[in-house]
Chains A and B, each alone.
Chain A
Amino acid sequence: MTSLTSTRARIDWSGIAFAVLLTLVIIGPLVVVATWAFTEVWRYPNIIPQKFGFRFWGQTLGRPDVWNALMLSLKLSTVVTLLSALICLPAAYAFARMKFPGRDILFFSFLAGHAFPKFGLLVAIAAIFLQLNLIGTFWGVVLIQLVGTLMFMIWIPVAAFQAVDRRMEEAARDVGASPLRVFWSITLPQAGPTIFAAVLLSFVGTFYETEGAWLIGAPGIRTMPVLMISYINNQMVIQYGAVLSVLLWVPSFIALMFARRVIGGGAFARGFGG
């Protein structure tokens, strides 16, 4: 307590500098993007746009390729998240609760994939997919994005399952529940909020994933972020990209806030420890 008050009394210059830097780097671009989204005319050298308005919202939302990309992205994220849950949750339960040979090595290998430079890994996978005729297909993108969700969908649920009190499960067996019933009625509800957060994170992560979707999906599959990149690269109208950014920022922000609240930092820490 005393140390807390004393640090508050002194002015922590390095902390302030850090906060300012973070604000500039993170909030700055967001403000610029948000401003662009509501701008109709903004010419150099003005600091504030000359004319605000919703014209580009109408134009952006009127484009069929935007709607196609949005629908595709939603479908893709849903399929990937469902498949990922189907594969990862039982695996996470096994990692957390069962003992089998090679358990630690296997668990580590799930995570090790994420230690490689991602783009190199993607290129290698793309080469394989090329032979399998998966390039430019929906399922090719599903596969590549599935790999991307493994980390969230294994690590966090493992921590969640491990955190469930074994005695609670035993008490349920004691009153007559079968192992399956215990999992359904006790383990899952206990680990539920954290697992839900992992599912949410993997959905959001898939929705915004770009490199894999672009490398494997192009040219046939154009997800929302890929479309945005092409807008920006083609120097069309900045406002299109900006409007989409703001549009997509809202749901993901809500999702992340929710995830943060449920996971509360503890599960991440346990994941690293266990």
Chain B
Amino acid sequence: MSVLHIAEVTKTFSGGTHAVNSFSLDVADGELVCLLGPSGSGKSTLLRMVGGFEQPTSGRITIDGEDVTHLPPERRPTGMVFQSHALWTHMNVFKNLAFGLKLRRMPAGEIREKVEAVLELVGLAGYGDRMTNQLSGGQQQRVALARSLVLEPKILLLDEPFASLDQHLRERLREEVRDIQQRLGITTLFVTHGQDEALSMADRIVVMANGKTEQMGRPDVVYRDPKTPFVAGFIGTMNLVEGEVTNGQFTRSDFTFPLPIADGPATLAIRPEALDLTASDTPKATVHRVTDYGSHGLVDLDLADGTRLKSMVAHPDLFRTGQGVDLKPRAVAAYRNNQQIFRS
């Protein structure tokens, strides 16, 4: 029922920082979109503009067709979950959740019902009387989520909500949030710089750099077909090899690979899982280290000039440090001037 429409939004801070540059995005009803990008790429700024905490320098934000660009946060149908949970420490859990409902003049009985229901939803039934500092980090973050959900916002905004939690808890909460989000069908914008988070929960990801979209699309598509070397390097592990193409042959040190593109410099991108190693009389690379993960192995390789590459192998016990190997890429992409110019 709720769609978010961000059109040509730019934010320039008073210091002159262009945090967000003419950014556009449409989020469909019930969709979960992850904003992904390195630190300082403008993810939080964008989210805060949707929530009403920053004013765009230019551009328009609409929710269900209503222009909210100049509305203050309290008049927007958005709910935000902050990284630092930002729970009100002078209120207990119940009061934290009831505050927004009280502002809406809801009768006390109804408030109680709603709060209990949402506590149940986030797995904290019976925690209403706790003070917020009597909760674990994960529970605090659940309360923060519940505080937004209880108001049934049209758009849910999450700014790295799990960044301060340990890996294990983060994975669990990520699944819970995805679950709840799908159950409620709530349109969601989720900021993270953990790519595994983005890949595992998003309907669509937007990779940002310098306040702009580098690429947007389904996670698996972006992973398989990154359109710029930046995205290639940012999403997943990727070998990025800079070299020269002459007569349809890419060369870097002893490593060559046929590449049917015009002569000139190029960046070759090969996923570790798409780089096979074979024994050879004329080795192109030397094994630097072998790591056995049980299910698979990772081999670090050095080209003659020291360029480091990674290869994922099924049988790591076949390789030894110092061993010479030949490289057989199964799938590559090539970039020139930040554009993809070849893909196999």
Contact = CB atoms under 8 A, between A and B. Distances in A.
B148 interface: yes
A118 interface: no
Interface stretch (A87-95, A121-129, A174-182): A174-182
B79 interface: yes
B74 interface: yes
Interface string B56-90: 00000000000000001111001110101011111
Contacts of A186: 88
Given A167-B82, A170-B73, A181-B103, A175 B151 contact: yes
B100 A170 contact: no
Q: State which size class the interface on B falls in.
A: 20 to 34
Contacts of A114: none
Interface residues of A, number: 18
A71 interface: no
A211 to B, nearest CB: 39
A65 interface: no
A72 to B, nearest CB: 37
Given A189-B90, A190-B90, A172 B99 contact: yes
B147 interface: yes
Given A185-B99, A189-B90, A174 B104 contact: no
A171 B74 CA distance: 10
Given A167-B82, A181-B103, A185-B99, A173 B90 contact: no
Contacts of B72: 173
A32 to B, nearest CB: 45
Nearest to B89: A190
A168 interface: yes
B51 interface: yes
Contacts of B51: 174
Contacts of B89: 168, 190
Nearest to B104: A176
Contacts of A177: 74, 99-100, 103
Contacts of B79: 174-175
B73 A174 contact: yes
Given A181-B103, A189-B90, A190-B89, A173 B84 contact: no
A53 to B, nearest CB: 50
Contacts, number: 62
B103 A170 contact: no
Contacts of B87: 168, 171
B255 interface: no
Contacts of B104: 176
Contact of B86 (A168, A176, A185): A168
A176 B90 CA distance: 18
Nearest to A171: B86
A32 B74 CA distance: 62
Contacts of B90: 189-190, 192
A102 B87 CA distance: 34
Tell me what chain A mostly uses at the interface: helix, strand, loop, or mixed.
helix
A173 B82 contact: no
B103 A175 contact: yes
A66 to B, nearest CB: 42
A17 to B, nearest CB: 42
B53 interface: yes
B72, B74, B103, B147: residue with the most chain A Cβ atoms closer than 10 Å: B74
A171 B157 CA distance: 12
Contacts of B78: 174
Interface string A169-206: 01111111110010001100110100000000000000
A178 B53 contact: no
A168 B53 contact: no
Nearest to A182: B74
Nearest to B144: A171
Nearest to A193: B90
Nearest to B72: A173
Contacts of A190: 88-90
A190 B132 CA distance: 14
A173 B90 CA distance: 17
B86 to A, nearest CB: 4
A173 B86 contact: no
Contacts of A168: 86-89
A261 B104 CA distance: 37
Contacts of A167: 82, 84, 86
Contacts of B84: 165, 167
Given A167-B84, A186-B88, A190-B89, A173 B103 contact: no
A175 B87 CA distance: 12
Given A170-B53, A170-B73, A181-B103, A175 B86 contact: no
B92 to A, nearest CB: 13
Contacts of B52: 173
Contacts of A192: 90
Nearest to A185: B99
A12 B280 CA distance: 74
Contacts of B151: 175-176
B228 to A, nearest CB: 33
- Among B53, B86, B147, B148, the one with the most A-chain Cβ atoms within 10 Å of its Cβ is B86
11 contacts: A167-B84, A168-B86, A171-B82, A174-B78, A174-B79, A175-B100, A175-B103, A175-B148, A176-B100, A178-B74, A190-B90
Interface of B: 51-53, 72-75, 78-80, 82, 84, 86-90, 99-100, 103-104, 144, 147-148, 151
Interface of A: 165, 167-168, 170-178, 181, 185-186, 189-190, 192
Q: Which 5 A-B pairs have the closest CB atoms?
A: A175-B100, A167-B86, A173-B73, A171-B86, A176-B103
